[in-house]
Chains A and B, each alone.
Chain A
């Protein structure tokens, strides 16, 4: 279908794409390679860089803080993904046509629009054992309130719950749009065959919602691995580094009062990048398949 005026037009695409590509290469593509390069060096960000090969990576293997962060990243991945079924649940709950439902849908979506910094602040206050909501609830039942963000056992879960709130809203909106596009005839046919409830959902509706599910999983996984803002505002990785994740640990190492270890920080960033690459490649593979179908 697409006509190939290749020769006459060959310069045009270059002109159109050059500005965007220039920006993107300078600020996104090149820095990735530079980070790899820096990770093989000892560097405080000011003086000379010293080549040390894989030393930083070897040191990572012995770094407890690194393992804590990695473990927390895993927790984030596992529990953050709960926002996908939770989002589906709310979407099904709201997929009705009663009066005012549009307003309900947008108000349920509300938390996603708010900055994670604000969400983090809200929940810090919510969890506060002395004057927060959680503290009051425990007091009401006559129990001593736990300090969720001050206790190594609960802190990561506390932050993840705060993170779930906007993420569920996001997944919900993806599913609500998906439900709009579900083929009515197939559902009616399924109903005629006697399917209803969970069976209808599982065999007829969910397969049609696959594009929404796929996108929800992608944004949730990326979001889980990117989590930074909430940790920065709620705990700064504390207490004692117990709520750290790779993204925050990297920042702390390379750019905070703990010192400017740019080389070591970059090595952490490279590890995070490699983990993310697995998901990015999977996503690209899926998009590539769709592209082929489209042509």
Chain B
């Protein structure tokens, strides 16, 4: 293990380490703690400049419910859910199929196609912006939740396929081969043999894509306009303008917007990290 385990260090160093841990964490998360503290203060504190001192009153409930009462936050949340959940389902389904084809079959276009999916995944959004917006306007998908779902699903398919293909490829190929020899239909091999085995990959991708899409801001601004399809990130930007200098409300809204991915992460931490580190965990 590197660095040398602290258990083997002199007691004094061990104590210093144990004391430093919470202090460094506190400093690291200070911006977050500060905004949380702001989100439970009263408007009076904000206006009188009491940002650091003890809050004059704890308005947690008033501020957080205020966000919903005084803005369209409820609608934004619903929109975000309607955008994110179908995207996760669609992109992972597509990627299971494509990843299976790229991992199991040997055909000439296999590697070039695989690289196409990877490369597409890294392009700057701006090179897609004008044409995708135009396409959405033409097909009546502009400013709709469906329009965002279709784009996100298509874009995320690149990353998901990369991940799925590598995952399926690491499965024992003999399993598939012996099923083939037994005369099992290809479709059945995929459905009954491979799909149950890729469940960990599906879990990893689900949390990851959920987070990516939930946190998306760019496409939300490019492909939506009104309130009807705006997700929380774009909504938060609007709120920031609407609640000018009402920092207690802006903070509360920011924390609410951050909640779902944070919960997702803490509930499915192992899968989340497996997804993020792709090849680096191998070995």
Contacts of A59 in B (CB 8 A): none
Chain A interface (Cβ < 8 Å from any Cβ of B) = 1-6, 9-10, 12-14, 16-17, 19-21, 23-24, 26-32, 34-35, 38, 45, 92-93, 95-98, 104, 106-111, 113-118, 121-123, 125-126, 130-133, 136, 165, 170, 173-174, 177-182, 184, 187, 196, 200-201, 204-205, 211-212, 215, 222, 225-226, 228-229, 232-233, 246-247, 250-251, 254-255, 262, 265-266, 268-270, 272-273, 276, 279-280, 283-284, 287-288, 290-291
Q: Which of chain B's residues has its CB closest to A136's CB?
A: B52
A173–B2 touching, CB < 8 Å: no
Q: Which of chain A's residues has its CB closest to B3's CB?
A: A92
A24–B157 touching, CB < 8 Å: yes
Cβ-based interface call for B11 (8 A): no
B265–A113 touching, CB < 8 Å: yes
Given the known interface contacts A187-B2, A287-B118, the answer about A27 and B173 at a Cβ–Cβ threshold of 8 Å is: no
Cβ-based interface call for B34 (8 A): yes
Residue of A3, A16, A178 near B100 (CB, 8 A) is A16
B124–A247 touching, CB < 8 Å: yes
A12–B101 touching, CB < 8 Å: yes
B125–A228 touching, CB < 8 Å: yes
In the complex, A181 Cα to B282 Cα: how many Å? 8
Least CB distance, B178 to chain A, in whole angstroms: 11
A29–B130 touching, CB < 8 Å: no
A20–B98 touching, CB < 8 Å: yes
Contacts of A126 in B (CB 8 A): 31, 34
B261–A200 touching, CB < 8 Å: no
B133–A98 touching, CB < 8 Å: no
B217–A173 touching, CB < 8 Å: no
Given the known interface contacts A38-B130, A115-B261, the answer about A280 and B122 at a Cβ–Cβ threshold of 8 Å is: yes
Residue of A9, A284, A290 near B119 (CB, 8 A) is A284
Contacts of A182 in B (CB 8 A): 1-2
Q: Which of chain A's residues has its CB closest to B38's CB?
A: A125
Residue of A121, A165, A232 near B250 (CB, 8 A) is A121
Q: Which of chain A's residues has its CB closest to B18's CB?
A: A98
Least CB distance, B63 to chain A, in whole angstroms: 15
Cβ-based interface call for B82 (8 A): no
Most A CB within 10 A of own CB, among B6, B123, B157: B123
B257–A117 touching, CB < 8 Å: yes
Contacts of A215 in B (CB 8 A): 277-280
* A/B interface sample: 22 pairs, CB < 8 A: A20-B94, A20-B157, A26-B135, A27-B128, A27-B150, A28-B120, A96-B5, A97-B5, A98-B21, A111-B29, A114-B215, A115-B257, A121-B236, A125-B34, A173-B273, A174-B280, A181-B280, A200-B2, A228-B125, A251-B222, A265-B130, A272-B126
Cβ-based interface call for B78 (8 A): no
A6–B215 touching, CB < 8 Å: no
In the complex, A9 Cα to B233 Cα: how many Å? 46
A118–B130 touching, CB < 8 Å: no
Contacts of B7 in A (CB 8 A): 97
Contacts of A225 in B (CB 8 A): 124
Given the known interface contacts A9-B186, A118-B257, A177-B277, the answer about A29 and B116 at a Cβ–Cβ threshold of 8 Å is: yes
In the complex, A95 Cα to B3 Cα: how many Å? 7
Given the known interface contacts A247-B124, A276-B123, the answer about A254 and B130 at a Cβ–Cβ threshold of 8 Å is: yes
